[in-house]
Chain A
Amino acid sequence: EIVLTQSPGTLSLSPGERATLSCRASQSVSRSFLAWYQQKPGQAPRLLIYGASSRAAGIPDRFSGSGSGTDFTLTISRLEPEDFAVYYCHQYGTSLWTFGQGTKVEIK
C-alpha cells in the first residue's frame, strides 16, 4: 500500500498569497497517477488536478500541480476567498487506491 503524507497539516494564509501544498508518497507513484481534490465543509470533494499536473475541466489556472515519483506539489498562485478549504492528494497508480490525510488552507 502506498502511504501518502501531506504537509503541512494546516496552512494559514491571507487572500492573495501563494499556497504550496506537499504530498509525499512512501513509494513511487506509477505514471504520475496522482490527483488533487478540494473539499469545502458539507460538500463532496472536487477534482482539481490529475496526472500530477493536468487541470480538470473548469478549474482556474491559479491551481497548478507538479512533481513525479514520490514528491508532488499543489500550488495556488493567488488565494481567492473561495479557495479556503481542505485539499487531498490521491494516488491511483496501483490497484489499491490511497489518499493523503489532507491539508487545511485557512484564512490567517
Chain B
Amino acid sequence: QVQLQESGPGLVKPSQTLSLTCTVSGASISTDAHYWNWIRQHPGKGLEWLGHIHYGGSTFYNPSLKSRVTMSVDKSKNQFSLRLNSVTVADTAVYYCTRVVILGAAAGPIDHWGQGTLVSVSS
C-alpha cells in the first residue's frame, strides 16, 4: 500500500524558508512511472499546484512560484523535499505531497496523496 507522509515545521517566520519532506512507503521513488509532486491548499480555498520532480532530478515548477521554489529527491531515503523561500503570510496553507502517474512523457493525474500538513507563516 502506497503511503506518503509530509514532515516539517508547522510554523515559519515571514521572509524565512519553508522546508518540507515527504517520505514515501510502499513504493520506490526511483521509478520512471511517476513524478512526485507538491500541492497546497490555502485555508478554506482550492488547490494550487507547486511543481513536480522526477527521481532523476528533472523538475517542473509553477511559474508563479518558480523563483522561490526548489524541489529535490533523496533516493537513498525514498524521500522528496520542498523548499519555498522568502515566505509571507500568503504562503500559509496545507501542503500535500502526492504521486503523479506519468502518461507517455507527460504528467498525468494524482493517484496518491499524503494527509497534508498545515504550515503557518507568522512572526
Contact = CB atoms under 8 A, between A and B. Distances in A.
Q: Does B bind A? A: yes
Contacts of A99: 46-49
Contact of A44 (B48, B63, B108, B116): B116
Contact of A90 (B62, B101, B106, B109): B109
What is the size category of the interface that chain B forms with chain A? 20 to 34
A5 B33 CA distance: 30
B63 A96 contact: yes
A98 B49 contact: yes
Contact of B107 (A46, A47, A97): A97
A50 B107 CA distance: 12
Contacts of B46: 88, 99-102
Contact of B113 (A46, A90, A92, A96): A46
Interface string B49-87: 100000000001011000000000000000000000000
Contacts, number: 50
Interface string B11-42: 00000000000000000000000000000000
Contact of A92 (B47, B48, B108): B108
Interface string A21-53: 000000000000101010000011111001100
A47 B62 CA distance: 21
Interface of B: 46-49, 60, 62-63, 96, 101, 103, 106-111, 113-116
Interface of A: 33, 35, 37, 43-47, 50-51, 56, 88, 90, 92, 95-102
